Amino acid sequence: MRFSAALLLWLACSVVYAQSAKDQLQFFSNGLRDAGVDFQQIVTGPNGEKIQVSQGRLEYGAPDRFRWQYLKPQTQLIVADGKKIWIYESDLKQVTVKAQDALNQDNPLSVLSRPDQLERFYTVKERADKQGVHWLDLTPKQASSSPFDKAMLGFNGNSLRYMRLFDGLGQVSEFTFGTWRKNSGISAARFHFTVPKGVDVVE
């Protein structure tokens, strides 16, 4: 009897963890209003050489607002308010402003709250799971206006754990995410950027 109960429990767990990457994306996005997570980013060159390791904090507000705050080794703040992207480099006293991509290709994490739009913006391919991680390959349909050639999203335990961005120069940026804190009530003000006094604006 104990063996049968244990077998049923194992089978149930197997079903949960056998979900596809799309299934896990759908689970993650259900009811998502906002989310915050710590991350590490490793940038490697065309030959696999490590170029930079950074750490920071990501805050997300559905459907297309972001706040990327790099804390180490250098500080940088990137705020996407749904219409514009503000890139603030405090050491240079400069902020670069550009229009946020209408196709949401500037940041593939835009699909976190709208997985039904995934195939509208990207050509999507599912990869076989590797070491428990289920992967989605995303190739922008409007390649000429995208800052990356391909993106990969890696899911595990119904949560986004990895993101890889491949650019035209052969560089790869890999993000490793910690534990997401969902729907904690992040203030809308976090996704609004006010240019500090004495800072140059480049558009």
Identify the bridge partners of residue 66 per DSSP, sorted by sequence position.
60, 80
54, 88, 60: which is closest to 72 by C-alpha? 54
Q: Domain ranges in the chain?
A: 30-202
pLDDT of 129 = 80
State the pLDDT at residue 103.
54
- pLDDT score for 1: 39
DSSP string covering 133-186, please?
A: EEEEEEEESSGGG-S-SEEEEEEETTEEEEEEEE-TTS-EEEEEE---EESS--
pLDDT at 55: 97
Report how far residue 48's alpha carbon sits from residue 63's, in angstroms, rounded to the nearest whole number: 34
Phi then psi for 173, rounded to 5 degrees?
-105, 120
Contact 192, 88 (CB under 8 A): no
> Under CATH, domain 30-202 is a member of which superfamily?
Lipoprotein localisation LolA/LolB/LppX (2.50.20.10)
* pLDDT digits 0-9 by tens, 125-179: 998 788 889 999 999 888 777 778 999 999 999 999 999 999 988 999 999 999 9
Distance between CA atoms of 120 and 154, rounded to whole angstroms?
A: 20
In this predicted structure, what is the pLDDT of residue 110? 82
Q: Where are the alpha helices (DSSP H) in 55-188?
A: 118-121
- Give me the pLDDT at residue 8, please: 38
**Which residues are 87's β-sheet partners?**
78, 96
pLDDT at 97: 95
Mean pLDDT of 103-111: 72
7-25 residue pLDDT tens:
333 334 434 444 889 999 9
* Number of helices followed by number of strands (H, E) in the chain: 3, 13
Q: What is the pTM of this model?
A: 0.84
Strand 200-202 and strand 94-99: the pairing is: parallel
Q: Give mean pLDDT, residues 94-119.
A: 81
**What are 25-84's pLDDT values in tens digits?**
999 999 999 999 999 999 999 999 999 999 999 999 988 899 999 999 999 999 999 899
